[in-house]
Amino acid sequence: PPLLPGEPGEESSLEEQRAAPDAGSPISSFFNGSGTKRLPQAIIIGVKKGGTRALLEFLRVHPDVRAVGAEPHFFDRNYERGLAWYRELMPRTLEGQITMEKTPSYFVTKEAPARISSMSKGTKLIVVVRDPVTRAISDYTQTLSKKPDIPTFESLTFKNRTTGLIDTSWSAIQIGIYAKHLENWLLHFPIGQILFVSGERLITDPAGELGRVQDFLGLKRIITDKHFYFNKTKGFPCLKKAEGSSKPHCLGKTKGRTHPDIDQEVVQRLRDFYRPFNMKFYQMTGQDFGWD
């Protein structure tokens, strides 16, 4: 059965359970610092530049969701610090609330599936995916904003421009081979425990995608159309009221950067490269994301 929010993970040791005395009734826990730090029952595991920040900010509007703001990078970079360190990063939750975090690099980290599964086999996983070609360009655009002197997108894409051989070792290309990464997760988790969110639909129909996410997490459908307005300048939906605020809230300046113009022939080459992987991904997930 899926783990109930607030249950200790099936795999958590006695020491951990002792370290987290039960908060007791909601009222008593309200007075003693409102709640208990728990290991996350749900994690947004990917993908980089897919729309994970938007999803997290939208989800935080829900009163039963408590999430870490920063990316903990526990299951990829900080694993040796141990679960107690990880748990300490979590916000306090009351009975019935879900603890969440997001670290998009988990999806492409070899060790992450086994590590998350050993924390708790019941962890719910969410992957925000986006057209791998636009994702790669977005990834490149982010790097370019930090290091303006990097080579062109075109030159990084090909091992050899004349033969048109694509350099799959470049992380911007590698991350978008979703079918390959997903196979690794399916060795440790049933497909039904992973929700795939369309990064495109998160923009065109945020309430619809959030409906699916709330259902998946077993939450009441509280986040609806009423929460969003479309900001034409940013080209993004924004929240009418952000978590803990009465002011409207759009994602920060680094979100929605304009992409550089990429040679159409290169884009076409990439489309052809990704197509078979995309088709396999659609088959594996039972969802057609319409990237072609």
The three state secondary structure string of 163-207 is CCEECCCCHHHHCCCHHHHHHHHHCCCCHHHEEEEEHHHHHHCHH
Is 259 among the annotated ligand-binding positions? yes
Residue 26 lies in a domain: no
Residue 271 lies in a domain: no
Residue 183 lies in a domain: yes
Residue 116 lies in a domain: yes
Residues 140 and 259: their CA atoms lie apart, in Å, by: 9
Q: How many domains does the chain have?
A: 1
Residue 18 lies in a domain: no
Is 53 among the annotated ligand-binding positions? yes
pLDDT digits (tens, 9 = 90+) for 45-77: 999 999 999 999 999 999 999 999 999 999 999
Helix (H) or strand (E) holding 124: strand 124-129
Residues 183 and 71: their CA atoms lie apart, in Å, by: 24
User: What's the CATH number where 201 sits?
Assistant: 3.40.50.300
Examine the residue annotation and report whether 49 is marked as an active-site residue of this protein: yes
Tokens of 104: 């998009």
Phi, psi of 125 (to 5 degrees): -115, 140
Give the pLDDT means over successive 10-residue stretches in the chain (292 positions): 40 38 49 83 98 97 97 98 98 97 98 98 98 98 96 95 94 98 98 98 97 98 96 91 85 90 96 98 98 92
- Catalytic position from the list 37, 48, 49, 124: 49
Could you list the residue range(s) of the whole structural domain that residue 178 is in? 36-131+171-254
Q: Mapping DSSP to helix (H, G, I), strand (E, B) and coil, where does residue 284 land? A: helix
pLDDT digits (tens, 9 = 90+) for 189-241: 999 999 999 999 999 999 999 999 999 999 999 999 999 999 988 889 999 98
Residue 231 lies in a domain: yes
Residue 215 lies in a domain: yes
Residues 98 and 121: their CA atoms lie apart, in Å, by: 16
Residues 30 and 86: their CA atoms lie apart, in Å, by: 23
Is 52 among the annotated ligand-binding positions? yes
Inter-residue long-range contacts of 148-155, CB under 8 Å, 24+ positions, other chains counted: 153/260, 153/262, 153/266, 154/262, 154/263, 154/266
**How many residues in the chain?**
292
Residue 214 lies in a domain: yes
